Amino acid sequence: MTLLQLLVGVLLSLGASSLAVEAESVNWNQFRGPNGAGLATGFKPPLRIVADQAAWKTPLPPGKSSPVLWGNRLFITGVEEGRLTTLALDANSGKVLWKRLAPEVSLARVHRANSVAASTPCVDEDRVYVYFGSYGLLCYDHEGLELWQKPIPTPKSMYGVSTSPILHGQRLILVLDDDANLPDSKLSRSKVIALDCATGEPVWETPRPYNRGAWSSPMIWKHERGTELVVLGNGRVYGYEPATGEERWYVMGFSREPIAVPVAGNGQLFVSVSMQGGRGDVALDPEPFWTAMLHFDRDGDGRIGRDEITKDFTSPFRPELPPGHPGFGMPLPSDPARRRKRQNDIFGWRDRNKDGFWTQEEFAADMRVGHGQPNLAAIRAGGRGDITETHVKWNLRRGIPEIPSPVFHAGRLYLVRAGGILSCVNTDTGEVMYRERLGAAGQYSASPVIANGHVYLFSNRGVLTVVKCGDAFTVTHQADLDVAVAATPAMDQDTLYLRTEDALLAFR
């Protein structure tokens, strides 16, 4: 080989590598985009959105999955007349290009705030991969031709399945954590699996004996010491060797209900889990809970009487939600005998002076909301086994979201929690640079995404807030779209794609 041929080969190789990196960066190919990071480098979707000025709007069957994108095609799932459905749409026009039904199965029971179509697809240049907890995995080409299918028993989960598959090289990776798990690793129902993308054949399977049902999705952590598969479970976050599934390390100290996807930046991994029940602060402010309780104060005397603990009563867990919302709290049992017992029990707990009423002071004195501690942990790379004491750089226990994942940008981490509270955290020190209310209250399910030097945040009520990245809190734009939003948006070079409760919209 001549020197000229060698140089040409190197340049071609570099060109191919650059194109591969570019291809990955311009395709929002999984939940929260490339590697689940929620970061769109170089993208410039609109900073200002007007509700009735969408470039297009396409009706969708119900579902909670987020849209993904490859080239000029969007892929999303739903449930239509009892059938699990995958759809492909033209990103330019919103036209439905094809729709495919999964094999007919009994749909799993899920919480009213969840959906049997909650898991987000992932896509590469050849194939679309779809996971339904009620069925398993399906693989299509971009034209909708089914390439393979893999039925998987539905993991038991108290809220329903929502984890999404991811891609790493030629491997499709899926976490299957199960509430019916057994402690013996040989019999563990919980596991993480890797399949061959082309065939759906198993490559490796790793038991997760200490893990019960969880709702997070895995991610790939590339750092100076190598590449690791990171999986957040209840109580722990784990690092695995992605080629073999071998467990490398774990960090403890998280609560029972992990939902967010870990993110990486500045050579560190950031893992966030709220307290069980959704609480984001160690210190509890009872005022919002008492205010929510007053919904049941039918005579308006500022107290809760025993006769006001009726069948419609609900103990609030998330006071930022309206009473009647499925995530608001714990309702009384429907069975009359169990309901009467529960009425007597919960009233007796707080009626300390036995006068037949709850006062605000009695209610606040016996707050029992959540378990464990909220935790945002910054983890350094390296180490084997239990690295809780050796590789956790700092912890934060304030402002931790229940559902939305954090997003990293330029040495800062942004977190939005219920009530519309945005925190900006210095990732070197764990210092909170600011913690501000967005002026858009209520629950937040969509994870924040960053593009154009701004954080895009959607409340469940459909209020968009666009905040400038940086140490100062600056709202660039806010708009009430007056639609329900639970899914995380997708983006390309100039467009934001938003799933609402009944449609997919494009804003340019």
Identify the residue whose tokens are 């050579």.
267
Per-residue pLDDT, averaged over 413-424, amounts to: 96
Q: What does the pLDDT look like over 426-462, one tens digit per residue?
A: 999 999 999 999 999 999 999 999 999 999 999 999 9
Right CATH number for 287-365 from 3.40.1780.10, 3.20.20.220, 3.30.70.270, 1.10.238.10? 1.10.238.10
Alpha-carbon separation of residue 43 from 49, 324, 366, 454 (angstroms): 16, 39, 49, 11
pLDDT tens sequence across 183-214: 554 567 899 999 999 999 999 999 998 888 88
Helix (H) or strand (E) holding 245: none
pLDDT reading at 8 higher than 50: no
CA distance 271 to 289: 27
- Residue identified by tokens 């942990």 is 377
Q: Where are the domains of the chain?
A: 22-281+371-507, 287-365
Res 367: pLDDT = 52
Question: What pLDDT score was predicted for residue 177?
Answer: 93
The lowest-confidence range among 108-112, 466-470, 495-499 is: 108-112
Query: Does 68 have pLDDT greater than 80?
Result: yes
| Region 22-281+371-507: CATH code | 2.130.10.10
Query: Are the CB atoms for 230 and 210 separated by under 8 Å?
Result: no
Q: Please choose, from the candidates 151, 95, 113, 197, the residue with its C-alpha nearest in 3D space to the C-alpha of residue 418.
A: 113
Whose tokens are 């929510």? That residue is 292
Contact 456, 444 (CB under 8 A): no
CA distances to 92, 260, 454 from 48, in Å: 20, 27, 11
Q: Specify the pTM.
A: 0.81
Within 354-397, strands assigned E span 357-358, 375-380, 385-386, 392-396
pLDDT of 69 over the 90 cut: yes
| The domains spanning 22-281+371-507 and 287-365 adopt the same CATH topology | no
Q: Does residue 171 have a pLDDT over 50?
A: yes
